[in-house]
Structure 1
Amino acid sequence: MKTECTPKQVEFDSVGRRQLVAAFDGEHISSDGGLTLLHQVDQRFGLMRQFAECFKDMRRPEWLKHTVEELVRQRVFGIACGYEDLVDHQTLRNDPLLAAVVGKEEPQKQPLASPSTLNRLELTPADATAQARYRKVVYDSRAIEDFFVDAFLDGIRCMSPVWRS
């Protein structure tokens, strides 16, 4: 008698209307299952939303395909999965799991940001103006420093009974 110990699929919490399932018979697959955990942590604590607030978006809203929060989420989650090079995002922009946790409902119709779009996010100088041709998402270095300090202190408060109030 042979015992079958391998489940056919594992179900995770849904992301919007999308159901996340780990299975071995899918056509469009992702090998970065840890994204589901990162997504749940992000949803609980709102870290990517808070981090995105450290940027000023001077792009024309009617031309936008990706919000700053989506760009930040895509880049941070990509780095967390080991894709530190922007070039990796040429392939990742079609990854169904990354698209789901970034917030894209239908990645086949609207892929994630390209490496050149993410490059603009990362390399826009702090003194860029709305008149700049491409680089219009400006970071606020002081806000980023405050975000990291606050996130660190919040993490300590959550973990340590001494800091809980």
Structure 2
Amino acid sequence: MFPIRSFKGRTAKKIEFNFDGGAINSDEGLLFIKEFDRKLGLTRRARTLLNSFDSRQSRKVKHSTLDMLRQRVFVLVAGNEDLNDHHELRNDPLIQTIVGRDR
């Protein structure tokens, strides 16, 4: 078991890599992509541009532009090109962690 505590998110979570065959996910490399994005601020900068086009009524908004952008970008990086994958992946704990919806 290799515990890793260096990934930052909204909540303090312990992320462990192990080989016991439990809840398996082959996209753990996305944790490194998330950290890379956090340091460079790419999706935050893109959000600023996209927010200027966001005409949604703020009281009706459930998901921020940043959450939706991160989900789309990170799922594309993972190789899931179709938007219909998002319906299933929205319940994936790894995707929730990466997007920042793991509250």
TM over 0.5: yes
| 97-106 vs 80-89, greater mean Cα deviation | 97-106
Aligned residues: CA RMSD = 1.9
Shift in Å, 1:28: 4.8
Matched letter for residue 16 of structure 1: R
TM-score (norm 1): 0.54
User: Contact conserved, 1:29 with 1:95, CA < 8 A, in 2?
Assistant: no
Alignment of 1:89-128 (within 5 A): 89-106=86-103
Distance 2:65 2:25 in 1: 24
Q: Is 1:43 the counterpart of 2:38 in the alignment?
A: yes
Equivalent in the alignment of 1:23: 18
Distance 1:62 1:25 in 2: 44
Alignment of 1:14-163 (within 5 A): 14=7, 15-17=9-11, 18-25=13-20, 28-55=23-50, 56-106=53-103
Distance 2:96 2:21 in 1: 16
User: Contact conserved, 1:29 with 1:96, CA < 8 A, in 2?
Assistant: no
Distance 1:28 1:21 in 2: 11
Distance 1:90 1:80 in 2: 17
**Structure number with bigger Rg:** 1
3-state SS in 1 of match to 2:84: helix
Say how many residue pairs are matched. Answer: 99
TM-score (norm 2): 0.83
Where in structure 1 do 4 or more consecutive aligned residues deviate above 4 Å?
Answer: 25-29
Matched letter for residue 45 of structure 1: L
Distance 2:21 2:71 in 1: 23
Shift in Å, 1:30: 2.8
